[in-house]
Structure 1
Amino acid sequence: MEKKEYETEMIHQYKLNGYNIVMDTYSGAVHVVDDLAFDIIALYEATPAEAIVTMMLEQYANDPEINETEIRDTLSDVEELKANGELFTEDLYQDLSIDLKNRQTFVKALCLNVAHTCNLTCDYCFASQGKYNGDRAIMKFEVGKQAIDFLLENSGFHRNLDVDFFGGEPLMAWRVVKQIVEYARSKEEESNKTFRFTFTTNGMLLNDEINEFLNKEMYNVVLSLDGRKEIHDRLRRTVNGKGSYDYILPKFQKFVEGRGDKEYYVRGTYTGNNVDFTNDIFHVANLGFDKLSMEPVICDPSEPYALTEKHLPDLYRQYEILAEEMLKRGEEGNDFTFYHYMLDLSEGPCIQKRISGCGSGTEYMAVTPWGEIFPCHQFVGDEEFSLGNIWDGVTKPELQGQFKEVNCYSKPECQDCWAKLYCSGGCPANSLHATGSLKGNYEFSCDLFRKRVECSMMVKVAESIREMEAEAMVAE
């Protein structure tokens, strides 16, 4: 993929799948341009206009369609885009990021670790096979009830409250899950709040009764499947060492068949064992699932399945292959959704959300089976990051303040990044584990994120052009 040396954090230019794409960082405007405009934009801010004309005349000397008039007209178009605030827009958000550090925050989401135990022994599990490097445990209803009360008492102006049932394997705490949901529903009318529940499961314990309840009560359900049988079974095994693919696949298919139009995701993890992870995504799509996610493994670099910088060129190409195949399948009428390509170019998150970060430790927290509060599920078990408990609330406001300050303007490495308003500074847990600091940058993750944004923009551009062409045909 070609990139220009004159690129700055104010714009980002790249070529992909036959499109010349120019993104303006601070306005969010995305432009699809011809080769001449692409080259002029690359030079525009650092080169006088007359010099650009001379350079373009030399560069396109053998192109009969490009002359001085065409070049000057294109320069005028670029000038107009800049005047309209759609190109080379200045950063107006630095001061806003400072104000956000001092804002009062309210909790709007809890991750309830209802089960610190699991019936699988996945090698790459960040939760140490569900135990979070501690004792196995199941959350008692009294703890879950108090967690709901804590959320209600600390939710402030938030009307929609999110609760994610997590583990380990939350189906191993099935009885308490039902009790917590029932209790939360009983509090909705009097509190004038609405609960949205999410459930993440490996599928081993799914049955008709559970399916019915999940489809009735869960706003979203995440199903863990890594792709092809040989890939899935290599790292996702039962306690007896057997692969789980053959057992869970029919359960997932039956569950999704009864899900209707409600949200779900089949979520996989790819590792150094399957750098060709698009084959796993396409395998899952071919099984009939149409809402998919595939995440890179986060683990110690010494692990045999770890992803490293040497894999990046192959991974970049895989994301391009995925984007191209999604467009192809869309034309054929058998499209699917990929979580990381769900990009809204017309609106998207508000600027406050883009700047303030993921909300861990402030608007989002995780609760252990014992009622201890952590900034998110990836910090659970690390006592240095224990925020307090659901009875006493947050007892370490200074620690919470550190998370409030983590955003794309507090990280030096983010300042020149064109994608910073899409990632909001990235994952604090990944930063901590990779660099030892919440404000550090996990470069490998940043590189993959930028590539996903490029590919998702290309998909949206291609889809928009396709829609406009179809509308034009209808109008004729």
Structure 2
Amino acid sequence: MIHQYMNNGFHIIMDVNSGSVHSVDPVMYDAVAIAQDFIPEMDKPEKISEHAKKEILSRLKEAYGEAEVMEALEEIQYLIDAGELFTKDVYHDYVVDFKKRKTVVKALCLHIAHDCNLACQYCFAEEGEYHGRRALMSFEVGKKALDFLIANSGNRRNLEVDFFGGEPLMNWDVVKQLVAYGRSKEKEYNKNFRFTMTTNGVLLNDEIMEFCNKEMSNVVLSLDGRKEVNDKMRPFRNGKGSYDLIVPKFQKFAKLRGTRDYYIRGTFTRGNMDFAKDVLEFADLGFESMSIEPVVAQPEEYYAIKEEDLPQILDEYDKLAVEYIKRRKEGKGFNFFHFNIDLQQGPCVAKRLAGCGSGTEYLAVTPWGDFYPCHQFVGQEKFLLGNVDIGLTNTEVRDEFKLCNVYAKDKCRDCFARFYCSGGCAANSFNFHGSITDAYDIGCEMQKKRIECAIMIKAALAEE
């Protein structure tokens, strides 16, 4: 499968099955476009047929000259022989029967607090309540969750635990206790815990910063960008904005993190589709790592992104990519999550096919110990998988998630982005289409644009 596109003056050809990416000149770009009608995906290198050569030469020689076209044909053949163009989909053979895979749990999202001190307008967790009641996780429940993770992680040594909410800092003592408990078990079971946390920063203080810099592998700091944007969407319950309180704390924390991972994570809505300005606000505030995600909401919400908004949003990603390149070349670069892409190796095969592993390798745990496929399914009883006392009992739903891969999704099979996005978010698919093997169409279009921008950036920076 070949995907071709032009962006910021670059002509880019992707051989989807091999993962090869080529930045080419216009004649090569046009020759490959025509060749697609003649060359199938190949089990082994083959020669371009004489018929195909004549057709390509006939169509392009007037525009480029015969010598240039013949040179492009030689380059196409070279890439075919190298296994970098018109290659076979070898990943499809990997999907024999995902349902027979042994389930190994490698990560937990601990809902340490179903409560929050902000009232974010777009919050899917209903200010931390998740369709239920306000609650804080006890140490005993969290301890059982970590024991479950150790017992069900097989030979996997590195285990991930994310402290999530609501707002985790509202249950800070239990966070510290659970980190200490996890560390106490590492040597005994030959495990290594990688703890992470997501916080709105309201309760962040020096003691918490120091602890996080010692124990947390990554910390996600929630902020939506410009003051007027953030304060509209992320106010306190009394309506007052949160920007002035949390930004100085985040700036201090980011400096103290040193080389440890963190990133500022924002959400853009229909109210700030010029979100590139918010990303640049993050950079101008001194943050080096950042992400801004599109809100996912039903169409009746005033802030929801609609299909007719896509042209403006896709154009905004292009604008951001150009500025991203400019700042990198000026020595003022920053790390934008969606523009990170590994063209040399990338994720393992299983992750390319099945994504985040929700419902199988990754589980969410409520304050009272119930298991759900991920944080976005919490409170939806259909997806209740079990609890920390009795383990995973709803194997039927778990097995549905085992089958959630790019070949189980009609919209993914012929999509060039399938091995980069791994089929997208199962929760978004379910919330919009009632099935975890569908796809959230608006999100797909944005993801494809981000991938195209990320690859174009690689080409632009390679010219330095």
TM-score normalized by structure 2?
0.96
2:12 equivalent among 7, 21, 34 = 21
Alpha-carbon distance in structure 2 between the residues aligned to 1:263 and 1:51: 53
Equivalence for 1:185? 183
For structure 2, the residue ranges without an aligned partner over 5 or more in a row are 39-51
Equivalence for 2:59? 55
Alpha-carbon distance in structure 2 between the residues aligned to 1:307 and 1:231: 16
The secondary structure found in structure 2 opposite 1:328 is helix
Question: Which one is further off, 234-243 or 362-371?
Answer: 234-243
Q: Does 1:37 align with 2:28?
A: yes
Query: Alignment RMSD, CA only?
Result: 0.9
Equivalence for 2:264? 266
**Superposed structure 1 runs of 4+ greater than 3 Å apart:** none
Equivalence for 2:396? 398
Alpha-carbon distance in structure 2 between the residues aligned to 1:340 and 1:127: 24
The secondary structure found in structure 1 opposite 2:463 is helix
Give, in angstroms, the shift of residue 390 of structure 1: 1.1
Is 1:411–1:441's contact at 8 Å kept on the other side of the alignment?
A: yes
Equivalence for 2:412? 414
The secondary structure found in structure 2 opposite 1:215 is helix
Equivalence for 2:335? 337
Q: Does 1:120 align with 2:133?
A: no
Is 2:370–2:387's contact at 8 Å kept on the other side of the alignment?
A: yes
Letter in 2 for 1:163: V
Is 2:27–2:68's contact at 8 Å kept on the other side of the alignment?
A: no
1:389 equivalent among 384, 387, 390 = 387
Give, in angstroms, the shift of residue 67 of structure 1: 2.4
Equivalence for 1:228? 226
Give, in angstroms, the shift of residue 95 of structure 1: 2.4
Cα deviations by residue, 1:167-211 (Å, 9 ceiling, x for unpaired): 000000001001000100000010100000111000000011111
- Aligned residue pair count: 451
Work out the percentage of aligned pairs sharing the same amino acid: 55
For structure 1, the residue ranges without an aligned partner over 5 or more in a row are 1-9, 61-65, 467-476
Is 1:100–1:356's contact at 8 Å kept on the other side of the alignment?
A: no
Letter in 2 for 1:266: I
2:444 equivalent among 443, 446, 451 = 446
The secondary structure found in structure 2 opposite 1:258 is helix
Alpha-carbon distance in structure 1 between the residues aligned to 2:388 and 2:183: 19
Q: How does 1:160-309 map to 2 (within 5 A)?
A: 160-309=158-307
Letter in 1 for 2:328: G
Alpha-carbon distance in structure 2 between the residues aligned to 1:68 and 1:459: 32
Alpha-carbon distance in structure 2 between the residues aligned to 1:71 and 1:110: 55
Give, in angstroms, the shift of residue 127 of structure 1: 0.4
Question: Which one is further off, 85-94 or 96-105?
Answer: 96-105
Alpha-carbon distance in structure 1 between the residues aligned to 2:121 and 2:364: 23
Cα deviations by residue, 1:378-432 (Å, 9 ceiling, x for unpaired): 1011111000001211001111000000010001111110111111111100000
The secondary structure found in structure 2 opposite 1:216 is helix
The secondary structure found in structure 2 opposite 1:22 is strand
TM-score normalized by structure 1?
0.93
